Amino acid sequence: MSEIPVVESITLHRLDVPLVRPFETSFGRETVRDVLLVHVRTDRGEGWGECVAGRDPFYSSEYVDGAASVIERYLAPALLRGRVDAPRAGAVGGTGAGAAIASVPLAASVAPALDFVAGHRMAKAALEAAVLDAELRAQGRSMSECFGAVREWVDCGVSVGIAPTLEELLDEVMGYVEAGYRRIKLKIKPGWDLVPVGAVREELGAAGLLQVDANTAYTTRDIPLLAQLDAFDLLLIEQPFAEEDLAAHVRLARACETPVCLDESILGTTTVIDAIERGATSVVNVKPGRMGGYLEALRVHDACVLRGVPVWAGGMLETGVGRAANVALAALPGFTLPGDTSASDRYFAEDLTEPFVLGDGEHRGQLRVPDAPGTGVTVREELVRAWATRAPVVVR
């Protein structure tokens, strides 16, 4: 086992990255991505992580100002104080998530060191991602290799926001189909559901892969309406009810044919096993930010595979920094459905790293999994400076 790096400083960068078009969901409308990047320096090199928290606490209780504050005040100081001992002989090995985690002792030490802070999973995940990037670069290993990727290309879907009109929605969807996307996900809310979903199904034809995401906008009174979505042969219905309401999802799962998929409710291995065993979810959206990090996401993946539950890679409007890591994760064997891992240009005219571009020919609608060390992408630091909305915060 090589030397374990020592974290020397942690810098937070805040920047606004313009979106190519507004993104509207049942909880709000975004026109720029308010990005928080974590830059970690170690004695063996550096790494970058992206925090997925949104500008406002609407998707989750976390939001980007809160994440920056908790990192600066609590998480970064704790990590800088912590000491990581080399793993004992025998602690390394195992299979799946266990082996991956044992191979990155510094990154594996992050979650235990931050556990004294309740919640704030997106903030913790961003720090862990930066440390993981630094540690893997020092080892000369890619994230995909560390995670146990089994494919070089991943199938891409696209998440389509609520549109001003049906006509604009169909235009947008058909643009994505022409670009090659292999699956369409429509954002729905009360008043924007059966009609747009039916219209898009008509346009796509019976073979097009289609799913919907409600971001908790419904209540159990809507179960009969949601069951009517069965007519449109959807891959899944994502998170129709409140985050804490597993029971409502169980009721819907019993009342409809379409698989129910949880996003907001799944905070890690404990909640995913509970939700599966209760029958609240038969497919899982994996977002490392929501689960406190990529290493916990690996455990969630393994728990789902063990129970025969398919997973797919969610997205949070990440720039290339977070997108690279998501694409590596999506290359694991349990990710059998296309992810929200779209190309950079779905959100950004210019990305913070080299852009992710959909392949062509046999790789139409796919992204190549980066295979260079760490995330495998390079942060364009001149853009981080040019788009900064405040001075960087350095914690030593």
Q: Using CB under 6 A, which of 148, 314, 334, 374 touches ligand OSB?
A: 314
- Answer yes or no: 187 catalytic: yes
Biggest CA–CA distance in the chain, Å, is 62
The one segment of 37-45, 126-134, 312-320, 368-376 that binds ligand OSB by CB under 6 A: 312-320
The CA-based angle 22-157-194, given to 5 degrees, is: 70
Beta carbon nearer to ligand OSB, 157 or 293: 157
DSSP letter at 72? I
Q: Radius of gyration (Cα) for the chain, nearest Å?
A: 20
Q: Which two tokens stand for residue 222?
A: 């809507």
Beta carbon nearer to Mg ion, 135 or 263: 263
CA distances from 122 to 167, 279, 291 (A): 36, 26, 7
Q: Using CB under 5 A, which of 213, 243, 296, 318 touches Mg ion?
A: 213
- Answer yes or no: 124 catalytic: no
For tokens 């026109």, the residue is 31
Q: Does 24 bind Mg ion (CB under 5 A)?
A: no
Q: Does 50 bind Mg ion (CB under 5 A)?
A: no
* Residues 314, 312: Cα–Cα separation, whole Å: 6
**Nearest residue relative to Mg ion (C-beta):** 263
User: Helix 294-306 to helix 105-114 angle, to the nearest 10 degrees?
Assistant: 90
Beta carbon nearer to ligand OSB, 258 or 342: 342
Q: Does 162 bind ligand OSB (CB under 6 A)?
A: no
Q: Are 227 and 251 in contact (CB under 8 A)?
A: no
315, interface contact from ligand OSB, Mg ion, none, CB < 5-8 Å by kind: ligand OSB
Q: Does 319 bind ligand OSB (CB under 6 A)?
A: no
Task: Pick the closest to residue 264 from 69, 62, 44 (CA basis).
Answer: 62
DSSP letter at 142? B
x-or-dash string of contact with Mg ion, 162-201, rule CB under 5 A:
----------------------------------------
Q: Which residues bind Mg ion (CB under 5 A)?
A: 213, 238, 263
Contacts with ligand OSB by CB under 6 A lie at 59, 159, 213, 215, 263, 314-317, 340, 342
Catalytic residue set = 187, 287
